[in-house]
C-alpha cells in the first residue's frame, strides 16, 4: 500500500499534531506501507526536512499563519502534483486540510484517489480566542465544505465528533489517541529530576504542566492554585510565545520553568511529579493528559477535547469547565491532601493508560485506508 500524507505542521516543530503524525508514520513503516509526506517548510530553514524513517518529505514554503504564528504555510506547487502523480498512492490522508491539505485534496480528486481527512485543530474557536470571532462563520463553512469533500473524516474525540456532526460533516468516525505506556512510565521516577522540578523542595506536593506556552493554554491561571493550596509547587515544561510573560506572571511563586524536554528527561519529568494540571481552553484531544496518566499521575484538567473521554472523575483525576478556577483549585486540593490519595489515583490513571495502545489506534486508521481503497475499486469495477 502507498499513502500520501499532507500535513500543515511537521518536524522540526514539536507539538501534539506532529507527535501524532510521527507516530502514524512509525506505524506505517512497521506495517511496510510506503508514504510520501507533504509538509510546510518552517521559517527560513536552510536545510528543510527531506525524509523521515526513509519516507520522502516534500516541503512547501509559505507565510506566517495569523492564528498560529509559529506555522508558515502555503499551497503545494505543480512540482508536488507531479510527484504525487508519480508516487501513485492508493489513498491520500489529509491532516486537518488547510493551506497544504486543501490543494492536496483537489489533487487527489483530480487523480481519482480516495481521501481521508482527520480533524486536529479547532480553527473557529482559536479565532474567537484571539479576538477574531468575526471569521468564525467563514472558518466553519470551510471546515464543513472541506471535510465533506473528503471521502471520510475522523475526529479525535467524542466531543469533537459531535461538534463536527452538528456542523454538518456527514461521513465522520472516531480516531482516538493512544499513549506509549513504555515511554511514559512510573519507572522513570528520578530523584535528581524531582529535585530539579521542585527547585530543591522534593518533599512538597508537585504539580506538572507540559505543553505549549501560549494564550489558549491559560497556564497563568495556575498561579491561583499556588496561592490557594498551601505548600504545592509547580513545574512548567514547554516553550512558546507566552513564556516571557508567564515567567513575569509567576515571579515570586513556587514555580520552575524547565523549557522544552525530550526523550528520557521528558519521561523522568512526568514520572517525578505528583499530579498533572492542564487548564487549556482549546484542545482537540490533549495528548499530554494520557502521557501523564501513563506515568502514574492523577490529572486536574479542563473539560475540552478528548479529556472527558479519558479522565474518570474522582478515580483518575478531576475535570472542570474552561475558566472555572475554583473547580481547578478544588481538584488540586483534593489530590494533594495526602500521599495515599496521590498514589491511589496515580495507580488508577496508569491502569487506564495501559489499555490505550497506539498500535490499536493506528491499525484502525489503516483499516480505514483499506476500506476506502476497496470502495473505490468496487466503484471502478461497477463502472466498467
| CATH code, 158 | 3.40.50.2000
**What are the pLDDT digits (tens) for 31-62?**
999 999 999 986 555 567 899 999 999 999 86
Output the furthest CA–CA distance in the chain (Å, rounded).
74
Average confidence (pLDDT) over 153-165: 93
Average confidence (pLDDT) over 90-109: 95
Strands 206-210 and 115-118, how do they pair? Answer: unpaired
- Is the domain of 191 the same as that of 320? yes
- Is the domain of 101 the same as that of 126? yes
Within the chain, where are the H helices?
16-30, 78-87, 101-111, 123-129, 136-149, 158-167, 191-197, 222-228, 243-249, 263-271, 287-294, 307-310, 325-336, 339-353, 358-383
Least confidently predicted of 61-65, 162-166, 168-172, 227-231: 61-65
- Over 70: is that where the pLDDT of 236 sits? yes
Alpha-carbon distance of 89 to 87, in angstroms, equals: 6
- Is the domain of 267 the same as that of 362? no
**What is the reported pLDDT for 16?**
82
How many beta carbons lie within 10 A of that of residue 349, not counting itself? 29
Average confidence (pLDDT) over 352-373: 95
CA distances from 258 to 247, 272, 326 (A): 11, 13, 26
- Is the domain of 216 the same as that of 286? yes
- Is the domain of 268 the same as that of 217? yes
Residue 104, domain extent:
2-178+357-383
**What are the pLDDT digits (tens) for 266-303?**
999 999 999 999 999 988 788 999 999 999 999 999 99
Alpha-carbon distance of 225 to 221, in angstroms, equals: 7
**What is the reported pLDDT for 229?**
97
**What is the reported pLDDT for 75?**
83
- Is the domain of 95 the same as that of 169? yes
- Is the domain of 88 the same as that of 216? no
- Is the domain of 266 the same as that of 248? yes
CB 239 within 8 A of CB 260: yes
- Is the domain of 338 the same as that of 209? yes
**What is the reported pLDDT for 65?**
60
- Is the domain of 125 the same as that of 271? no
- Over 90: is that where the pLDDT of 307 sits? yes
CA distances from 34 to 54, 58, 356 (A): 9, 14, 26
> Which of 70, 63, 310, 43 is closest to 213 using CA atoms?
70
Average confidence (pLDDT) over 117-133: 71
- Is the domain of 116 the same as that of 244? no
How many structural domains compose the chain? 2
**What is the reported pLDDT for 252?**
96
- Over 80: is that where the pLDDT of 126 sits? no
Higher pLDDT, 124 or 17: 17
- Is the domain of 205 the same as that of 152? no
Q: What is the residue-averaged pLDDT of the chain?
A: 92
Alpha-carbon distance of 106 to 146, in angstroms, equals: 10
What cell does 315 get? 478515580
Who's near 161: CB < 8 A, 6+ residues apart? 155, 172, 173, 174
Percent share of the chain, pLDDT over 90: 78
Residue the block writes with cell 520522502: 56
Amino acid at each position: 500500500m502507498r499513502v500520501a500524507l499532507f500535513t500543515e505542521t511537521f518536524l522540526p516543530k514539536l507539538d501534539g499534531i506532529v507527535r501524532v503524525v510521527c507516530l502514524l508514520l512509525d506505524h506505517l513503516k512497521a506495517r511496510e506501507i510506503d508514504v510520501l509526506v507533504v509538509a510546510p517548510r518552517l521559517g527560513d530553514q536552510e536545510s528543510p526536512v527531506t525524509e523521515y524513517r526513509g519516507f520522502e518529505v516534500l516541503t512547501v514554503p509559505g507565510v506566517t499563519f495569523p492564528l498560529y504564528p509559529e506555522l508558515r504555510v502555503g499551497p503545494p506547487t505543480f512540482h508536488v502534483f507531479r510527484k504525487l502523480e508519480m508516487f501513485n498512492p492508493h489513498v491520500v490522508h489529509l491532516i486537518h486540510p488547510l493551506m497544504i491539505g486543501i490543494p492536496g485534496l483537489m489533487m487527489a480528486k483530480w487523480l481519482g484517489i480516495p481521501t481521508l481527512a482527520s480533524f486536529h485543530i479547532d480553527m473557529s474557536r482559536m479565532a474567537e480566542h484571539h479576538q477574531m470571532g468575526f471569521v468564525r462563520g467563514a472558518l466553519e463553512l470551510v471546515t464543513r465544505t472541506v471535510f465533506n469533500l473528503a471521502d471520510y473524516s475522523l475526529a479525535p474525540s467524542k466531543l469533537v465528533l459531535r461538534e463536527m456532526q452538528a456542523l454538518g460533516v456527514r461521513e465522520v468516525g472516531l480516531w482516538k489517541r493512544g499513549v506509549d505506556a513504555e515511554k511514559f512510565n512510573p519507572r522513570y521516577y528520578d530523584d535528581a529530576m524531582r529535585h530539579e522540578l521542585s527547585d530543591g523542595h522534593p518533599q512538597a506536593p508537585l504539580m506538572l504542566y507540559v505543553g505549549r506556552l501560549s494564550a489558549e493554554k491559560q497556564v497563568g491561571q495556575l498561579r491561583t492554585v499556588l496561592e490557594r493550596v498551601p505548600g504545592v509547587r509547580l513545574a512548567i515544561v514547554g516553550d512558546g510565545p507566552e513564556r516571557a510573560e508567564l515567567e513575569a506572571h509567576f515571579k515570586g511563586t513556587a514555580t520552575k520553568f524547565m523549557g522544552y524536554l525530550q526523550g528520557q528527561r521528558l519521561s523522568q519529568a512526568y514520572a517525578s511529579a505528583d499530579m498533572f494540571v492542564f487548564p487549556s481552553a482549546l484542545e482537540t484531544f490533549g495528548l499530554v493528559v494520557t502521557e501523564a496518566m501513563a506515568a502514574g499521575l492523577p490529572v486536574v484538567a479542563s473539560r475540552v477535547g478528548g479529556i472527558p473521554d479519558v479522565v474518570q472523575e474522582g478515580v483518575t483525576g478531576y475535570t472542570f469547565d474552561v475558566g472555572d478556577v475554583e473547580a481547578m483549585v478544588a481538584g488540586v486540593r483534593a489530590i494533594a491532601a495526602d500521599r495515599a490519595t496521590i498514589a491511589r489515583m496515580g495507580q488508577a490513571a496508569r491502569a487506564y493508560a495501559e489499555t490505550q495502545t497506539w498500535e490499536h489506534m493506528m491499525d484502525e486508521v489503516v483499516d480505514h485506508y483499506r476500506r476506502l481503497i476497496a470502495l473505490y475499486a468496487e466503484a471502478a469495477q461497477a463502472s466498467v
